[in-house]
Amino acid sequence: MHFIRLTAAEDTKTDEGRIIPLSPELKATFAELRKTRALHEKHVFLREGRSVADFRRVFATACQVVGIEGFHFHDFRHAAITNMRWAGIDPLTIMQISGHKTMECFTRYNSFREPDLSAAADRRNTHLTLAHRADSKGSASEGEKAAVSA
């Protein structure tokens, strides 16, 4: 696994470093980008061989060109955090990756939709059904009790 390493003093607003795991696809993208930039250039994204001075403006222009409205670069952070949760990654690990210090801040970035609530209700109903079956058998085996309490 490869990581982006953020240093405390230079790269984060919390003054605490962290590491962010890279997917194989993103690693390959960065490897390709590296082939087309000067070795002394520390920036990843270039335009006509020069570092992008105002990334927000470039991103807004790109969105406009492809017809996307009301989307900001920071929205990717919300999507990444929600996708990690949907993938089953525990909140503390997500917070470590995203740099969130409090559950309150993490919750602000973690989006919920109706399918999330439906899935939670389905899991609850399955749990209650299994618990009811175990209780109605009277003497549930230790294995069944463990499965219900898990």
**pTM of the predicted structure, to 2 decimals:** 0.58
Task: Give the pLDDT of residue 144.
Answer: 54
**Which residues are registered as beta bridge partners of 6?**
18
Is the separation of the CB atoms in 18 and 6 below 8 Å? yes
When divided into structural domains, the chain yields a total of 2
Q: Identify whether 66 is part of a domain.
A: no
Residue 102 lies in a domain: yes
- 42 in any annotated domain: no
Q: What are the pLDDT tens digits along the chain (150 aa)? A: 788 888 877 777 777 788 888 889 988 988 887 777 766 777 777 777 777 777 888 889 999 999 999 998 888 888 889 889 888 899 999 998 888 888 888 887 777 778 777 887 888 888 888 888 888 776 555 555 555 555
Q: Is 105 part of any domain?
A: yes
The encoded tokens of residue 68 equal 């996307």
> 2 in a domain, yes or no?
no
Range of the domain at 87: 74-111
What is the rounded CA–CA span in Å between residue 89 and residue 76?
17
In a domain, 137, yes or no: yes
Residues 107, 78, single domain; the answer is yes
Looking at the fold, whether 107 and 126 belong to one and the same domain comes out as no
Q: What is the pLDDT of residue 149?
A: 54
DSSP H stretches of helix in 52-141? 55-66, 75-86, 91-98, 103-109, 114-136
Considering the domain architecture, whether residues 104 and 80 belong to the same structural domain is answered as yes
Q: Is the CB of residue 64 less than 8 Å from the CB of residue 77?
A: no
Measure the CA–CA gap between 122 and 89, rounded to whole angstroms.
Answer: 19
